[in-house]
Amino acid sequence: MNAPDRHVPKAAAAKLLSGNAACAQGAIDAGCKFFAGYPITPSSEIAERLSTMLPAAGGVFIQMEDEIAAMAAVVGASMGGVKSLTATSGPGFSLKQENIGYAAGAEIPCVIVNVMRGGPSTGMPTRPSQADIFQTRYGSHGDYPMIVLAPASAREIYDETIRAFDLAELCRTPVILLYDQVIAQSSETVTLGGRTSVHATRKWASGPREAYKPYAADADLVPPMPRPGDGYRTHTTGLTHSETGFPSQDPETVTRNLGRLYGKLDRHRDLIDSYEAVRCEDVEVVIVAIGISARAARRAVDACRAEGKKVGLFRPVTLWPFPEIALREATKNAKAILVPELNIGQLRLEIERQLRDRRVEGLHLISGEPITPAQIAAAATKLASEV
């Protein structure tokens, strides 16, 4: 794995940015040079901004005829050697799934933004939801690993957009950035710059051309990619393949290759895992939440603490692979777990799987309205009285 390039950006500047605007700026600052997409609420502001920002930065913006073509274009641009991005919402994200699976299997680095809205089908385009949690992890067919990042503020969207590109390049994999409509379209004062940024460089092929195998990896389990024009012969396919890139159904080869796909993420969990634990040292009840629900949960924790209730918050910033070790550490003293989310219980199911010895309760809202701090505080207080 190549060492990241470090540079110090210009002095910090405060800006009023929506989450989508912060995503567009983060993509530019991460070195993104290609965007392909199709307008869809509530992600359209990302495309709108990049349609002017990318050409000004020496990049390419293209509006494709549909989401299937957009994802295919992003995969192709990345294979051509540039950092590539697409952004969509629920119905469009569904259409992208076949090519997302292709990118995972062929190990093509790219970033996919999914701004969640109400569903299923066309659903509620202008209302928030958190019902794509499982789709980000299991949306395409077959076994494959996936990195999913779930920021909860405009500033964090900016940071996690940059980190998404870094992880995509370092681990040679697609990375999904997942946040909800409220975070996407709410504006906040964001201070950008004034810190050391880390930008990853792709692991390019080197050495004798005649010996190159496009899927042969060394100790970091990440195969080097051929830089276009360098003369390395390569073959890329969605079929199961050997280290040569050519199709194979040999059981040992297939098992080895798929095991490496999962192994390369496990090998780099120190780079991938990110989370926030708030006042979890002496808890009786831990709230686990993402996105706008986590924003409300933070205020609920403050309200409960003011009334003497021992309530804390665990927020997975990396949603997949789930930071299970950190979750267990944050909840080791808790008697119960509360999971507020804008769906019928997707995150709760994962928490129940991780914490089988603990009582886990859900607080679910599917009306298109966000959960309020008061609702979360009331549920946490009730749960604390019962354990």
Q: DSSP string spanning 148-201?
A: EE---SHHHHHHHHHHHHHHHHHHTSEEEEEEEHHHHH-EEEEEE-SS-EEE--
| 177 in the same domain as 30 | yes
Q: 155 in a domain, yes or no?
A: yes
| 302 in the same domain as 235 | no
| 240 in the same domain as 182 | no
Q: 5 in a domain, yes or no?
A: no
| 171 in the same domain as 280 | no
CATH code for the domain in which residue 322 is found: 3.40.50.920
**235: Cβ–Cβ under 8 A, 6 or more apart, which residues?**
214, 241, 244, 245, 246
CATH code for the domain in which residue 55 is found: 3.40.50.970
> Of 198, 149, 153, nearest to 20 (Cα)?
153
| pLDDT tens-digit map of 134-186 | 999 999 999 999 999 999 999 999 999 999 999 999 999 999 999 999 999 99
Helices (H), 307-345: 324-330
Considering the entire predicted model, what is its pTM? 0.95
**138: Cβ–Cβ under 8 A, 6 or more apart, which residues?**
none
| pLDDT tens-digit map of 279-327 | 999 999 999 999 999 999 999 999 999 999 999 999 999 999 999 999 9
What is the average per-residue pLDDT within 336-362? 97
What is the average per-residue pLDDT within 103-127? 97
Give dist(CA 342, CA 179) in Å, integer: 12
pLDDT at 198 over 70: no
> What is the maximum span of the chain, computed from C-alpha positions, in angstroms?
70
Question: If you count them, how many residues does the chain have?
Answer: 387
| pLDDT tens-digit map of 39-58 | 999 999 999 999 999 999 99
Looking at 272, 299, 323, the residue that finishes a domain is: 272
| 315 in the same domain as 304 | yes
| 231 in the same domain as 182 | no
| 300 in the same domain as 163 | no
Domain encompassing residue 246: 209-272
- pLDDT score at 14: 87
Beta carbons of 129 and 343 less than 8 angstroms apart = yes
Q: 6 in a domain, yes or no?
A: no
Please tell me the total count of domains within the chain: 3
> Of 363, 361, 360, 357, nearest to 376 (Cα)?
363
